């Protein structure tokens, strides 16, 4: 039995917070100037998250600059106020994970009582960071096809990212590096299995949490700054959804079977045999306010049961090896063999707007999967390499973002995680042979 216990305690305290791609927040900043381009100090800038009504108020400095760190993700409306100038409202903005959203504001001298409202669009280019990264938002996650509902499949939209055959099934490779050189983070907390070099929960289950719970995925494949540890290959940060002031949710049911599959073609042009396959997936998400503007929740559940028949590629196994194993008690080394792929994943996330200076997030997620003959997934592995693949993992995570003043911020994150992955041999019993 393989048991992995992990406790991760991270505190970052300083005058500036730079580790934004690894966290669950973003930065909003910019300059406020008049119509002649002169910077305006003393302007009151209000940053309102329109999904939760979290409001952060900052004042421009002597250079006309404002900056707000550790800002919750989501849609924003920015309002600039100063006596003698027309109020300016910038609406339609959205802050993404690790993003430094630059919003410059121009104010005009007030001659009448009116408000200037500007419908804004997010900048297409991130000018505050120089790393090579790809960001997949919730719209892409919900609209792009995904065969199996595994969040890692979306990382393939990043240049240099591929799925390769690793020692424990398929694994993520970034710029040719092994899976153990990658770092996968969930809501800014560690989500790795360092023993196998993959994400917690493993590669063989269809999913390790509900895909509909994903808000954003950021893949840093090159040019990563010093903030990224354990990631000489690449860094993947997954941010899950949070509740808002509106109750809303989703549900899904998917069914697949061998009747929907065509027959493969053999090298000689004949039709290959089509094996049994059936898979069912269902789940839901639901979130909303427990207390308006203050406490929010988001709950998810995903379930799958699947059965299939697997056949090795006979051309990849030497016939002499097959003959030897047959003489030792494994006559059907090439298969076929029946497999199961059953799993469920649950998560509960609660967000607290304690006040304008403190935001607390608590999350619990658990995954359980069972795959009979689950290790029989490599074309060149025979029946004698077979075992049942079991995985049971869970994690408790807490994060507290605190603003102590105009220039001091603190981000505290604590996680306790545990994973058990026993493997029971399920292949043929091959008798030992004594040799003189």
> How would residue 124 be classed by pLDDT, with cut points 50, 70 and 90?
very low
Q: How is domain 23-119 classified at the CATH fold level?
A: Immunoglobulin-like (2.60.40)
Fold matches, 23-119 and 132-262+273-425: no
Statement: residue 75 has pLDDT above 70: yes
**Least confident stretch, 20-34, 270-284, 292-306:** 20-34
Domains of the chain, by residue range, sit at 23-119, 132-262+273-425
Phi, psi for residue 81 in degrees, rounded to 5: -130, 135
> How would residue 21 be classed by pLDDT, with cut points 50, 70 and 90?
very low
Statement: residue 356 has pLDDT above 70: yes
> How would residue 126 be classed by pLDDT, with cut points 50, 70 and 90?
low
Statement: residue 16 has pLDDT above 50: no
**pLDDT in the model for residue 9:** 39
Question: Could you read off the pLDDT of 383-406 as tens digits, one per residue?
Answer: 777 778 888 999 999 999 998 877
The whole-number average pLDDT for the span 343-352 is 95
> How would residue 284 be classed by pLDDT, with cut points 50, 70 and 90?
very high
- CA dist., res. 76 & res. 54, Å (int): 10
HEC states along the chain?
A: CCEEEEEEEEEEEECCCCCCCCCCCEEEEEEEEECCCCECCCCEEEEEECCCCEEEEEECCCCCEEEEEEECCEEEEEEEECCCECCEEEEEEEECCCCEEECCEEECECCCCCCEEEECCCCCCCCCCCCEEEEEEHHHHHHCCCCCCCHHHHHHHCCCEEEEEEECEEEEEECCCCHHHEEEEECCEECEECCCCEECCCCCCCCCCCHHHEEEEEEEEECCCCCCCCCCCEEEEEEECCCCCCCEEEEEEEEEEHHHCCCCECCCCCECCCCCEEEEEEEEEEEEEEECCCEEEEEEEEEEEEEEEECCCHHHCCHHHHHHHHHCCCCCCCCCEEEECEEEEEEEEEEEEEECCEEEEEEEEEEEEEECCCCCCCCCCCHHHCEEEEEEEEEEEEEEEEECCCCCEEEEEEEEEEEECCEEECCCCCCCCCCC
Q: Name the CATH code of domain 132-262+273-425 (choices 2.170.130.10, 3.90.79.10, 3.30.429.10, 2.120.10.30).
A: 2.170.130.10
> How would residue 18 be classed by pLDDT, with cut points 50, 70 and 90?
very low
**pLDDT in the model for residue 15:** 36
Is the whole-model pTM more than 0.75?
Answer: yes
**pLDDT in the model for residue 288:** 97
Average pLDDT value for the chain: 81
229 half-sphere exposure, CB direction, 13 A CA radius:
6
216 vs 11, more confident: 216
Statement: residue 309 has pLDDT above 90: no
- CA dist., res. 54 & res. 353, Å (int): 7
**pLDDT in the model for residue 2:** 44
15 Cα distance to chain centroid: 28
**Least confident stretch, 121-135, 200-214, 314-328, 367-381:** 121-135
End-to-end CA separation in angstroms for the chain: 35
Residue 433: CB atoms within 10 Å: 7
Question: Could you read off the pLDDT of 178-223 as tens digits, one per residue?
Answer: 777 888 888 888 888 877 777 887 777 777 888 889 999 988 877 5
Of 30, 48, 41, nearest to 128 by C-alpha is 30
The whole-number average pLDDT for the span 279-300 is 96
- 76: tokens are 């924003």
CB 97 within 8 Å of CB 26: yes
> How would residue 360 be classed by pLDDT, with cut points 50, 70 and 90?
very high
The whole-number average pLDDT for the span 111-129 is 55
Highest mean pLDDT among 9-13, 30-34, 128-132, 233-237: 30-34
The β-bridge partners of 401 are: 359, 411
Phi, psi for residue 319 in degrees, rounded to 5: -65, -30
**pLDDT in the model for residue 156:** 85
């Amino acid at each position: 039995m393989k048991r992995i216990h992990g406790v991760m305690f991270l505190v970052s305290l300083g005058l500036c917070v730079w580790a934004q791609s690894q966290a669950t927040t973003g930065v909003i900043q910019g300059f406020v100037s008049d119509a002649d381009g002169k910077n305006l100090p003393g302007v009151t800038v209000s940053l309102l998250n329109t999904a939760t009504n979290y409001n952060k108020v900052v004042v421009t400095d002597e250079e006309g600059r404002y900056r707000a760190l550790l800002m919750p993700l989501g849609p924003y409306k920015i309002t600039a106020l100063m006596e003698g100038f027309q109020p300016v409202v910038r609406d339609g903005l959205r802050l993404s994970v690790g993003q430094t959203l630059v919003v410059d504001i121009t104010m005009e001298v007030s001659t009448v009582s009116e408000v200037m409202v500007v419908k804004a669009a997010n900048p297409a280019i991130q000018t505050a960071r120089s790393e090579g990264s790809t960001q997949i938002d919730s719209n892409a996650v919900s609209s792009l096809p995904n065969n199996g509902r595994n969040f890692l499949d979306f990382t393939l939209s990043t240049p240099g990212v591929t799925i390769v055959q690793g020692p424990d099934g398929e694994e993520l490779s970034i710029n040719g590096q092994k899976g153990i050189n990658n770092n996968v983070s969930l809501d800014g907390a560690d989500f790795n299995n360092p023993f196998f070099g993959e994400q917690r929960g493993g590669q063989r289950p269809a999913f390790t949490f509900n895909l509909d719970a994903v808000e954003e995925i950021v893949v840093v494949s090159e040019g990563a700054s010093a903030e990224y540890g354990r990631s000489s290959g690449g860094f993947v940060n997954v941010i899950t959804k949070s509740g808002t002031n509106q109750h809303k949710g989703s549900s899904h049911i998917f069914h697949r079977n061998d009747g929907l599959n065509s027959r493969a073609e053999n090298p000689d042009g004949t039709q290959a045999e089509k094996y049994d396959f059936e898979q069912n997936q269902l789940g839901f998400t639901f979130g909303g306010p427990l207390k308006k503007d203050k406490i929010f929740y988001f709950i998810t559940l995903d379930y799958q049961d699947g059965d299939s028949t697997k056949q090795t590629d006979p051309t990849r196994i030497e016939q002499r090896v097959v003959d030897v194993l047959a003489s030792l008690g494994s006559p059907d080394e090439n298969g076929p063999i029946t497999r199961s792929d059953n799993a469920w994943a649950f998560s509960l996330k609660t967000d607290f707007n304690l006040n304008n200076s403190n935001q607390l997030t608590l999350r619990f997620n658990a995954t359980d999967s069972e795959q009979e003959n689950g290790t029989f997934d490599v074309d060149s592995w025979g029946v004698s390499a077979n075992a049942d693949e079991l995985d049971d993992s869970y994690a408790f995570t807490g994060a507290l973002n605190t603003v102590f003043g105009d220039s001091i911020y603190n981000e505290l994150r604590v996680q306790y995680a545990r994973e058990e992955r026993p493997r029971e041999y399920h292949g043929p019993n091959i008798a030992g042979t004594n040799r003189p």
